[in-house]
Structure 1
């Protein structure tokens, strides 16, 4: 069911005046000379200006009039359908995502990655859940560089291969962390549309859909086809969205960091090498080369021991779709 959030996700942050923004139903961001005592968190932009987050008091900032007079377009740099939007505010990025109870927060996933590996990630400034508006807010410091998509045309073939090899080694490092469950870092259901059944028509389009957490036995029961999981006993931690917009590089093509960790979780091994070959998120701009990064990364993953398995993926999709019959 196509249904907008209320208010729509693209109206989650409103610029209401000089150095002042409303973030959801409960937080305001303001510039300041010094950090106030009631600040939830503060940071400085590149010009040394202090930005502070604090809680809204009563109807102080959340009035309809205040929001109506403001602009939600100011600073908004990304808007994806009914469930995600991103703003650039005070030298930080603020990601707003649809949220439901039991959902893994990206901030917690990033902290987990930092704890178990040296894979470079953006720094988390602050995060919270706005339960009244069914969405999460995540403030991140930006990584200094440009996306692989932006840099692709300027990189040599050798540099592109080096990048793919480096990303594949990152995947191998993360995969050293294993679980006996198909789950997120904090033991919640995964969000991976390619492995998950389509939501029922009664569900609003913005509402995230979970799969699991499941043990191998529970997963076999869910799919009603033991051959799909085979002899899987362990699941491997994987970013699962390593397209060219989520890899930040320097001018010469060295990796600065990996962003967008919301889908990262423990997956069956076959998914590491298969995902690049089935998701358009791994494609470059349209043209003859649009699948170049996907193919290069899949090849590098295979060299690290994570071969693609389209047969198993198609069997998984068939089993999931059969649940809808």
Structure 2
């Protein structure tokens, strides 16, 4: 997505300040989620310069810090518990049929402890605009007016100033179950109206309104189930209705929109709170429960040679049983990869679900490096089905953990990745071909042109270039350069890098691994990066001692023909 130059300048200014990652994100979303991002960006630039037309002053951190403090105060007001009378709660509860507006669940009759209790919440707390006319809160009012624009702020004040009018209050209320209420208050979910929905500026009172449920980054996302026990995902339809639009009007589309604009900032405020509490893996309680589990998980690897002496039929039955138990215990995020008991993972299936080179790649890593990677138990081929059994590494994907990592932790991660990459590059090629999989066969890579995604092996880099250059017009001078050929993970992205307690705990998924030109590791890491956030690209660039920007330019030209989607 291309942003206005003033917006880009303001974002760069924000990231130049000495704040933490979640604080930078709070300011980033203050600009991007505002009603008029360009006007908000100009306000940020002007405030940092000390006035219109002036140069950036030396106290940028101080000025932006004051803005950040005001924004945190406003966002934090969304967490204020609603103060509602019993009659007002009853009115909203009655309109919504005593059910959660999202899940459509109601409180079960046997629940005496309130586990399935329904809560009546405000879409936008009235505390958001309280005291804004006081001189002491003038900066808060200015900040909110910049974010919403003055007309929208005036409208918001009118919407929330209805304490004596029950029908006006109910416009700002809805009923949610506990899990949905927590997610809504923390900004993890919000509702987006259908494209043809009225913004209720004409004081219309529809009987039915249609919305879509949206999740806010970063994960993990809230786990919500409907009244039939099915998971509710982002983009799910949410229908709100009322039997009496005149006396019990539906929640305001405008107020849902105001809440949605605050959601990203609310989520980042929650992230900052979690960072202050520390990594869960660092707690003594976590360590106490982890030690016995780690001891049990080491058993399969230590008995690997003994286990492989058992007949193939017995091992096959055992793997099928483990797959069944794993599905029941852990679910199945991916059809071909399953977490199973005893600290193992099983990659299984037909065709390219298990590439021929992944098992040999894990063997090479274990033999030649100290890289924290899965240890291979075995690759078992049974007729047309393959089971690749390997150990499980601790940690969560960087895709989730990066949002909770400090800048020093990110710098250390880049250094650790650099060390891992250097170790991988030290692995000698035992094969006669230059560019090939770990066992000397064809390389498998989603980046390759065509539908098969498998090609080679190639005797030289020149042969490899000839294959990936699908048209003469796509060739650049960079393709004529000679590069070193190294052992490469070839799918180094945030989903395949595991983090534990803010530190690198391992790299997984060596299905594409093999011997490639030296730039391939870097360009493939960029290939699968989506979105405007540059955090991963910054870490990736720091992980290499050499720049591959020219190779990246050449690759980008080829990606126009072989895009990553």
TM-based fold match above 0.5? yes
Report the structure, 1 or 2, having the larger strand content.
Answer: 1
Q: Are 2:398 and 2:498, in contact at CA under 8 Å, matched by a contact in 1?
A: yes
User: 1:257 is matched with which residue?
Assistant: 506
Query: TM-score if structure 1 supplies the norm length?
Result: 0.63
SS in 1 for 2:423: helix
2:479, 2:422 → 1: CA distance? 21
Q: Are 2:355 and 2:511, in contact at CA under 8 Å, matched by a contact in 1?
A: no
SS in 1 for 2:437: coil
SS in 2 for 1:312: helix
Matched, 1:125 2:374: no
User: 1:202 is matched with which residue?
Assistant: none
Query: TM-score if structure 2 supplies the norm length?
Result: 0.38
User: 1:218 is matched with which residue?
Assistant: 463
Q: Are 2:325 and 2:340, in contact at CA under 8 Å, matched by a contact in 1?
A: no
User: 1:74 is matched with which residue?
Assistant: 328
1:165 to 415, 423, 439: 415
Shift of 1:121: 1.3
Shift of 1:79: 4.4
Q: Are 1:45 and 1:92, in contact at CA under 8 Å, matched by a contact in 2?
A: no
Q: Are 1:216 and 1:229, in contact at CA under 8 Å, matched by a contact in 2?
A: no
Matched, 1:106 2:358: yes
Report the structure, 1 or 2, having the larger helix content.
Answer: 2
1:296 to 515, 538, 558: 538
Shift of 1:73: 3.9
1:305 to 546, 549, 554: 546
User: 1:279 is matched with which residue?
Assistant: 528
Summarize the alignment of residues 219-238 of structure 1 with structure 2, pairs less than 5 Å apart: 219-222=464-467, 223=469, 227=476, 229-232=479-482, 234-238=484-488
CA RMSD across the alignment: 3.8
Matched, 1:182 2:435: yes
Matched, 1:149 2:394: no
User: 1:41 is matched with which residue?
Assistant: none
Q: Are 2:358 and 2:510, in contact at CA under 8 Å, matched by a contact in 1?
A: yes
Q: Are 1:168 and 1:297, in contact at CA under 8 Å, matched by a contact in 2?
A: no
User: Which one has more relative contact order, counting CA pairs under 8 Å at least 6 apart?
Assistant: 1
User: Which has the larger Rg?
Assistant: 2
Query: Unaligned regions of 5+ residues in structure 1, if any?
Result: 1-43, 200-207
Aligned residues: 249
Q: Are 1:77 and 1:88, in contact at CA under 8 Å, matched by a contact in 2?
A: no
SS in 2 for 1:93: strand
2:312 to 39, 45, 55: 55
Shift of 1:239: 1.0
Query: Unaligned regions of 5+ residues in structure 2, if any?
Result: 1-294
Q: Are 1:301 and 1:307, in contact at CA under 8 Å, matched by a contact in 2?
A: no
1:159, 1:254 → 2: CA distance? 7
